[in-house]
Amino acid sequence: MINGLISGQILEATYLSLRRLAFGFVISITLGLLMGYLIARYKWVDDTLGFLVTALQSIPSIVWLPLAILWFKLGEAPILFIVTIGATWTMTVTSSTGFKNINPLFLRVARTMGSSGFHLMRTVILPASVPHLISGLRVAWAFAWRALMAGELVGGTGGLGHLLEMGRSLQSMDLVLAIMIIIGVVGTIIDNQVFNRMEKSVQKKWGVSARI
Amino acid sequence: MQVVLQNVNKRFQRDGSQPLTVLQDINLNIERGEFISLLGPSGCGKSTILNIVAGLETASDGIVTVNGQPIKGPGTDRIVVFQESGLFPWMNVLDNVTYGLLLKGMSKKEAHEKAMEGLRMVHLTRFAKSFPHELSGGMKQRVAIARAFVMDPEILLMDEPFAALDEQTRMVLHEELQTIWQKTGKTIIFITHNIREAVMLSTRIILMGTRPGIIKKEFTVEAARPRDLSDSVLRHLEARLLQGLEQEMEKVLKEEMGDDYSYKKGAVLSDPMHNLGSDI
């Protein structure tokens, strides 16, 4: 593991994986928020798209890989697609629940103050649903991370998953274990440093930290 | 006339049964600078009237105008103070108060100054940087009042703003509201189910009846300010209002409990051992 770290092979792979993850994650958050908003806003979208999303959510994202390779050819694109698909549905579901659960009083207050449209979205709808959104982000991130590993393992060029596959074919279990450890460590670090902190700061600001 | 409601009806559509009439034939004219209270038992549609004037709900039929213009939706000339403060928990007190000001296109500095002025009015400048959850219920409500007043609306709509507060805080806020109203001369439409509150504060009281919501009676409060509840005029008015409200309450309760029900115990001999022959 240390040799690997020093030779830069693992670091490079980690970097590559994280970059893919970040890309896919950003796309899926945008898509998820957008669809979540539409679902929360319009009843007919909820009845149609909402149902579809729940159905799609139950399909593991790696299942899309054959199709993705067919569509985008081998390379970066299918993996990005897998990551995006993996996180989008959960993000959609949690953001739509978040939007639906906004205290209507906040909306009324904002409307009487003259807010509407995009301004209302930016200043009230998004911040008011932040507690929901954060838990959504957290789950979406876990889904994306898994999808990424699976995608790289099967159809990858570069990245941690690909390195893992290489370790398997070279019968070098030290490499395999090292990568597993790294996957776990990266996952924990991001969860702890990013999402936990976000959650803490929101809880502090809102004054809601229930202990059961 | 600043606010005019003409033959306003409001019905709510219910699934599978006939629509529920909440307001019936409401006619109301409100002058500029009036402090008018809508008083009535719960469920009489007083909040609905306020929401219609605020533009948050629409009347089923009838005409509602403000300054001669029909109401098309919410506007910054009519600001509402709700029963709960409705402060945004993700903003500190100052940001909450400046929210509407910035929306109006005011510069940051100007809005900041104005907001501090508003907070001074409710004695909360020390808490400008606090978050809403750090404040008590009464303080939150005061912030909400400041937030409404700095918007400088022509009409201030207050939907039972003090109902959730304790008696002491309410008394203090009554005083403050009265002073602010006298200073600024705004039109205030005030909703309450508290007779004393209505009597203490308003220039005119509209007593509402329930099921469907109608305007039952109108009272003009002719008493000097600052008001004192031991004033005989107010005493008398309070008694008359109470009587009116009791009739309404009895109507509601009879609907629930059957016609035998009497709100005033002891008005009819109701000892089951000495019945008056109702079981013949």
Asked if A115 is an interface residue toward chain B (Cβ–Cβ < 8 A), one would say yes
Residue B262 lies in a domain: no
- Identify the three-state secondary structure at position B81: strand
- State how far the Cα of A154 lies from the Cα of B36, in Å rounded to an integer: 73
Q: Which residue has 């697609």 as its token pair?
A: A81
Is A105–B103 a contact, with Cβ atoms under 8 angstroms apart? no
In angstroms, what separates the C-alpha of A37 from chain B's closest C-alpha? 20
pLDDT classification of A3: cutoffs 50, 70, 90: low
Is B54's CB within 8 Å of A112's CB?
Answer: yes
B74–A109 CB contact, under 8 Å? no
Q: How many angstroms away from the CA of B188 is the closest CA of chain A?
A: 16
Residue A160 has pLDDT above 60, yes or no: yes
Tell me what pLDDT residue B274 has. Answer: 62
Residue range B166-194, pLDDT digits in tens: 788 788 888 888 888 888 888 888 898 88
Of A51-60, A99-108, B49-58, B69-78, the least confident: B69-78
- The mean of the pLDDT values for chain B is 80
pLDDT top residue among B125 and B43: B125
Closest approach of A110 to chain B, Cα-based (Å): 8
Q: By CA distance, what is A125's nearest residue in B?
A: B88
- Minimum-distance CB partner of B103 among A105, A114, A127: A114
Spatial separation of the C-alpha atoms in residues A188 and A184, rounded to whole Å: 6
Q: Let me know how long chain B is.
A: 280
- Where exactly are the structural domains of chain A? 2-206
B103, B132, B134: residue with CB nearest A115: B103
Residue B248 lies in a domain: no
CB B90 to CB A111 under 8 A? no
Contact B100 A113 (CB under 8 A): yes
Do residues B36 and B203 make contact, with C-beta atoms less than 8 angstroms apart? yes
Give the number of A-B residue pairs with CB atoms closer than 8 Å: 63
Cα–Cα distance, B155 to B34 (Å, whole number): 10
- Whether the CA torsion B119, B120, B124, B128 is positive or negative: it is positive
Question: Domain limits at B30?
Answer: 3-77+153-228
Q: Is A21 left (phi over 0), alpha (psi -120 to 50) or beta?
A: alpha
Mutation for testing the B interface, residue in A109, A204, A208 having most B CBs under 10 Å:
A109
Per-residue pLDDT band for A31 (boundaries 50, 70, 90) equals very high
Q: Which residues on chain B are in Cβ contact (under 8 Å) with A115?
A: 103
Beta-strand runs (E) in chain B: 3-12, 20-30, 35-39, 61-66, 69-70, 78-81, 155-159, 187-192, 204-209, 214-220
Q: What is the CATH number of domain A2-206?
A: 1.10.3720.10
Half-sphere exposure of B256 (CA within 13 A, CB side): 9
Give residue B140's pLDDT: 86
Per-residue model confidence (pLDDT) at position B139? 84
CATH number of B71's domain: 3.40.50.300
- Is residue B116 included in any domain, yes or no? no
In chain B, what residues touch A110 (CB-CB under 8 Å)?
A: 99
Which chain A residues touch B78 with a CB distance below 8 Å?
112
Q: What's the ipTM?
A: 0.77
Q: Mind telling me how many Å the CA of A116 is from chain B's nearest CA?
A: 10
Asked if B190 and B38 touch (Cβ cutoff 8 Å), the reply is: yes
Q: What total of structural domains would you count in chain B? A: 1
> What are the DSSP calls for A152-212, one per residue?
HHHH-SSSHHHHHHHHHHTT-HHHHHHHHHHHHHHHHHHIIIIIIHHHHHHHHHHT-----
Determine the Cα–Cα distance for residues B51 and B43; give it in Å rounded to an integer: 14
